[in-house]
Amino acid sequence: MPATPPQSHEDAQREFALTLSGFSATDKPEYEDYSRCVHCGLCSNNCPTYRLWGREADSPRGRIRQMALVDQGRLEIGDTFVTHIDRCLNCRNCESVCPSGVEYGKILELARAQIEQKYKRPFTSRVLRDFIYRRLLPYPKRIAAAARTLRFYQRWGLASLARNTGILRLLGLQDRESLLPKIDSNFFFSELGKTFPAQGRQRARVAFFAGCVAQVTFSELNRATIRVLQANGCEVVVTAEQVCCGALAAHAGVRDVARNLARANFSAFHADDFDAIITNAAGCGSTLKEYSQLFTENEADLESACKFSAKVRDISEFLADLGLVAPLRPLPMRVTYQDSCHLVHGQKIREAPRKLIRAVPSVELVEMALSDLCCGSAGVYNVMEPKAALDLLSDKMHHAQQTKAQAILTANPGCILQLRAGAAIHKTGQEVLHVIELLDRALIKS
Amino acid sequence: MDSHAINDLKKLLGADAVLHRPEELLLYEYDGSVEVARPNCVVFPRHTKEVVGIVQIANRYQIPMIGRGAGTGLSGGALARQGGVLVVFSRMNRILEIDVENQCAVVQPGVVNADLSVAVAQTGLHFAPDPSSQKASTIGGNVSENSGGPHTLAYGVTTNHVHSLEAVLPTGELVRLGSPALDSPGYDLPGLFVGSEGTLALVTEITVKLTRLPETVKTLLAIFDTVDDATETVVDITARGITPAACEMLDGWTIRAVEAYVHAGFPVDCAAVLLLEVDGLREAAEQHAEEVADVCRLHHAREVRVARDARERDLLWKGRKNAFGAVGRLSPTYYVQDGVIPRTKLPQTLRRINEIGEKYGFEIGNIFHAGDGNLHPIILFDAREEKQFQRAVASADEIIGFCIEMGGSITGEHGVGMEKDRLMPLLFTEDDMNLMRRVRDAYNPVGLLNPGKIFPDTKGCGEIHVRPLPVAGASRA
Ligand SMILES: Cc1cc2nc3c(=O)[nH]c(=O)nc-3n(C[C@H](O)[C@H](O)[C@H](O)COP(=O)(O)OP(=O)(O)OC[C@H]3O[C@@H](n4cnc5c(N)ncnc54)[C@H](O)[C@@H]3O)c2cc1C
Ligand code: SF4
Ligand code: SF4
């Protein structure tokens, strides 16, 4: 096939390496990216899974090495590789500490894309993943339908029935009722297509990204976000045709689905018409900001991706920059803040949420130890790897409790669910709120 | 390795604490250095008793054993050069006792250096040894390598902060070395074991000294247009009898790499910066800071900045502590050398390193603990080219050769390990080394513990060992 032999020693080596590689040609971790890891090991103690098990294979350095080994043909994409790559939380704490600038999140998603292409998972896992990533999340109507069913069970106390009839067992959720979100009575889908005017002088015009599952479980948070934006002089447009951001699919290596969702969002949001596209979910935000990673350089989509991502702002990032103007009433309470991984490590936003919290009169912010270590939520991790997720959660609740805070604040719906479950399991009696919910509570409403 | 041995280990530790499949072992063939050597088996003890059991099994089957902390070592110390069982201390990571009144703590060896300081921060104490790897490296590793850091200049190295040790000798005997007081009667055995690079015993518990945080810390950044001005400043500061708590130098090339990562406001067009710190009681610290700044200006510092608050100080240090890694942004593979020279010889040594870089065609950055003459030249090369790798080693050897010529040494803090054993004869006679071997043999008679380290194994000179090409993504750090 190749007509011309390699032209230099270097080319020859490269070609040799390529023939041996266990990766397929597309959507794979690239040498230029993973070789930035100089295996110094400085990241290991910041990695939640390394802290749990102390094993190199479950450390960032070890995971990157396993990718390199596959690329060199020294390790196959088999059970071992898949186990350790699956167990990664994709919390990206390693990225924050890595002095060499390894873009771990990017190469992890590509490694998972290779697993999708090259590894056959056991039957139930295949069915479950196919259902979640390909058949459910991309379709708002199906999310609504599933949510209505679940709500029916929750309303009528039939959760145990569901468990016994095996529905929850199929989803691997039999012991996880505490983690199941409470389904809202009033879905957010009804707000799609609406525009909410700014209060007072208009300072910005923004589009609101409403999320997928959040529309059936966090409708109130979404409404609170819009209220806070309005009160601070923003006109808020809830774009009609928007779909799931594709973060969960991208994290799982299901890149074709993620790409299609991204494209749908490019056309749903006319980025030029807005000062910003706002999300209140850190997990969505980091994917929305990194859409360009889904498209290789020559694809026309890359341009749309860059244009779109340039406008994406996390709600706390946006408000902290814009400055709060709405008057706030004092809320005498002691709170602590749990950094959402995809805000602090994914988007490198540490100060903005704290600034907003401090802006509320009489709120006392007490930092907990290791606030930027993952709580174990990590997208669907708490469903896929329940034991590890609960171990991380119990450490987290311990640190949160030591602050004697009445409320734990955070910046992502997934974290809220996990921390609420934690507060219930460990009976800490702490309330769990999104930073924006705190601001909303403090708004002086007419 | 004997499958009976593996079964015995599993029986002792549980299956979850024993790794032996090839794909698992592949992840223990490296550490922070570029050396490569694979163990036959990896075990994770949780308490001292289990360590004793492991050593007994290793003796029964006559297999080598090697301790490992976080694997950040830079000389291949934690690699199984002759195969065997790698004893990883990552799960022995509990702080057993903190005694604020007596300013000490008892820790298991797998406790991460920075975690101890965080745990006692509320009490105004800290664990003073501060290797740049402190947020990952273990106290067991620090003890074995006698690690130092930027603050070594004023606070000393690890050995100055260890009261006593509990250790398992390679024969399986459990011993306690030293006493709770820092100066104990009799031989200074902790002093012998600290820095022995894991060749005398497996350390299972460490009683460390905690140090009060200074009342005031002043951090200064002095910016120079020539390297010579910076190095002469260092010589002058010490000549005046001022001992800064830290005195670090980065050359212009390294600063540009670091600045791209930390955005600490390092000037990217200068030739060198000195990062200086003085601490102590408020008045003394302030006065010293001024004196230091004056000396810098005397040697034509373009600018002297003083960190205004803790945040600015942390930012400056972040740049220094992440300097090696930041270099990874410029080149996938680099080789950090570790040499020592008398600090009065700094100017000519730096000039010589520059020439060596030109001769071999490599970019060489320089970061070092200037206060104690400990150099870390960083040589950038491309590991995919075998010849480059050999040339990088050759240029590094030439640098080390020059350090010795200047009256210095082959390693300041990264240890000899399996990286520099072949250089030992440059510094020591065969008689000197035999004396040290006799000490090793007293504790490690059969050589089962960490064999093939520190001393060149074949007697006489001229041993050539050809190392395998590092795998892609590997570095010689
Ligand atoms: C980016 C970077 C910066 C660094 N900066 C510095 C620095 O400023 N100063 C400095 O001194 N070093 C530095 N180092 C080197 C290294 O971090 C230190 O040597 C550190 O002390 C090693 O600790 P570790 O836990 O990683 O030990 P490992 O690398 O796992 O092991 C080191 C040695 O200790 C032995 N060992 C470990 N635990 C035990 C035990 N419990 N019992 C017996 N033997 C044991 C091993 O056998 C091995 O010989 C740096 C390394 C990196 C990657
Ligand atoms: S800190 Fe970065 S370079 Fe170092 S081992 Fe981790 S990922 Fe690799
Ligand atoms: S993303 Fe999180 S869990 Fe995964 S390797 Fe990095 S630090 Fe560890």
Tell me whether residues A42 and B329 touch, CB distance under 8 A: no
Nearest atom within ligand 2 for CA of residue A104: 7
Q: Is B317 an 8 Å CB contact of chain A?
A: no
pLDDT at residue number A81? 96
Q: Is A44 an 8 Å CB contact of chain B?
A: yes
What CA–CA distance (Å, rounded) separates A100 from A89?
Answer: 21
Of B280, B265, B160, residue with least CA distance to B212: B280
| Contact assessment for residue A282 and residue A412, using Cβ atoms and an 8 Å cutoff | yes
The pLDDT confidence band at residue B182, using thresholds 50, 70 and 90, is: low
Identify the nearest ligand to the CA of B169 by its number.
1
Identify the residues whose C-beta falls under 6 Å from ligand 2.
A 37-43, 60-61, 64, 94, 98, 100, 102; B 325, 328
The full set of domain ranges for chain A reads 9-118, 126-178, 188-320, 328-442
Q: Which tokens sit at A104?
A: 């771990």
Q: Is A98 an 8 Å CB contact of chain B?
A: yes
Residues of A in contact with B149 (CB under 8 A): none
pLDDT at residue number A283? 93
Question: Does A188-320 match A328-442 in CATH topology?
Answer: yes
Ligand 1 pocket, B132 CB below 6 A? yes
Tell me: pLDDT of A5 over 70: no
- 3-state DSSP: chain A helix, strand, coil percent, rounded to 5? 55, 10, 40
Tell me: pLDDT of A298 over 80: no
pLDDT tens, position by position, B332-375:
678 888 899 988 888 889 889 989 999 998 888 888 888 888 98
Distance from the A96 Cα atom to the nearest Cα atom in chain B, whole angstroms: 11
Q: Is A62 an 8 Å CB contact of chain B?
A: yes
Tell me: pLDDT of B87 over 70: yes
The pLDDT confidence band at residue A174, using thresholds 50, 70 and 90, is: very low
* Mean pLDDT (whole number) for B451-476: 52
Q: Report the separation in Å between the CA atom of B134 and the middle of ligand 1, taken as the mean of its atom positions.
A: 9
Taking only residues 349 to 378 of chain A, the set having a beta carbon closer than 8 angstroms to any beta carbon of chain B reads 369
The pLDDT confidence band at residue A125, using thresholds 50, 70 and 90, is: confident
Nearest atom within ligand 2 for CA of residue A42: 1
pLDDT at residue number A4? 41
Q: Which of B24, B135, B384 lies closest to A42 in CB terms?
A: B135
Rounded to 10 degrees, the C-alpha dihedral A82/A85/A86/A91 comes to -170
Taking only residues 20 to 79 of chain B, the set having a beta carbon closer than 8 angstroms to any beta carbon of chain A reads 21, 23-24, 26-28, 30-32, 44, 70-72
pLDDT tens, position by position, B222-260:
999 998 899 899 989 988 888 899 999 998 888 988 888
Of A318, A324, A320, residue with least CA distance to A354: A320
pLDDT at residue number A177? 58
SS3 (DSSP) at B337: coil
pLDDT at residue number B470? 41
pLDDT at residue number B451? 94
Q: What percent of chain A has pLDDT over 90?
A: 64
Q: Which of B23, B325, B471 lies closest to A99 in CB terms?
A: B325
pLDDT at residue number A446? 63
The interface pTM score, or ipTM, of the predicted complex is 0.90
Q: Which residues pair with A308 in a beta bridge?
A: none
* Mean pLDDT (whole number) for A59-66: 97
Mean of pLDDT over chain A: 87
**Looking at ligand 1, which residue's alpha carbon is closest to its atom 27?**
B141
The pLDDT confidence band at residue A156, using thresholds 50, 70 and 90, is: low
Of B319, B313, B374, residue with least CA distance to B149: B374
pLDDT at residue number A180? 66
Q: Report the separation in Å between the CA atom of A103 and the middle of ligand 2, taken as the mean of its atom positions.
A: 10
Of B190, B174, B173, B193, residue with least CA distance to B182: B190
Kindly indicate whether the domain formed by A188-320 is annotated with CATH number 3.40.190: no
Which pTM value belongs to this model? 0.91
Distance from the B258 Cα atom to the nearest Cα atom in chain A, whole angstroms: 9
* Mean pLDDT (whole number) for B36-47: 96
CB half-sphere exposure, B359, CA atoms < 13 A: 13
Tell me: pLDDT of A3 over 80: no
Residue of higher predicted confidence among A22 and B34:
A22
Ligand 3 pocket, A96 CB below 6 A? no
Q: Which tokens sit at A196?
A: 């909410």
Cβ-count burial of B358 within 10 angstroms (0-12 exposed, 13-18 middle, 19+ buried)?
A: exposed
Tell me: pLDDT of B33 over 70: yes
Nearest atom within ligand 3 for CA of residue A50: 8
3-state secondary structure B212-244: ECCCEEEEEEEEECCHHHHHHHHHHHHHCCCCC
CATH fold for domain A328-442: Rossmann fold (3.40.50)
The pLDDT confidence band at residue B475, using thresholds 50, 70 and 90, is: very low
Q: Report the separation in Å between the CA atom of A140 and the middle of ligand 2, taken as the mean of its atom positions.
A: 39
Q: Report the separation in Å between the CA atom of A441 and the middle of ligand 2, taken as the mean of its atom positions.
A: 42
What CA–CA distance (Å, rounded) separates A89 from B100?
Answer: 37
Tell me: pLDDT of B461 over 60: no
Of A365, A358, A372, A356, residue with least CA distance to A335: A365
| Contact assessment for residue A182 and residue A217, using Cβ atoms and an 8 Å cutoff | yes
Tell me: pLDDT of B459 over 90: no
Residue of higher predicted confidence among B136 and A16:
B136
Nearest chain B residue to A58, by CA? B27
Domains of chain B are: 3-88 (3.30.43.10), 95-212 (3.30.465.10), 216-326 (3.30.70.2190), 331-415 (3.30.70.2740)
pLDDT at residue number B242? 86
Q: Which residues pair with B162 in a beta bridge?
A: B208
Taking only residues 96 to 115 of chain B, the set having a beta carbon closer than 8 angstroms to any beta carbon of chain A reads 110, 112, 114-115
Q: Which residues pair with B126 in a beta bridge?
A: B211
**CATH architecture under which domain A9-118 falls:** Orthogonal Bundle (1.10)
pLDDT at residue number B163? 93
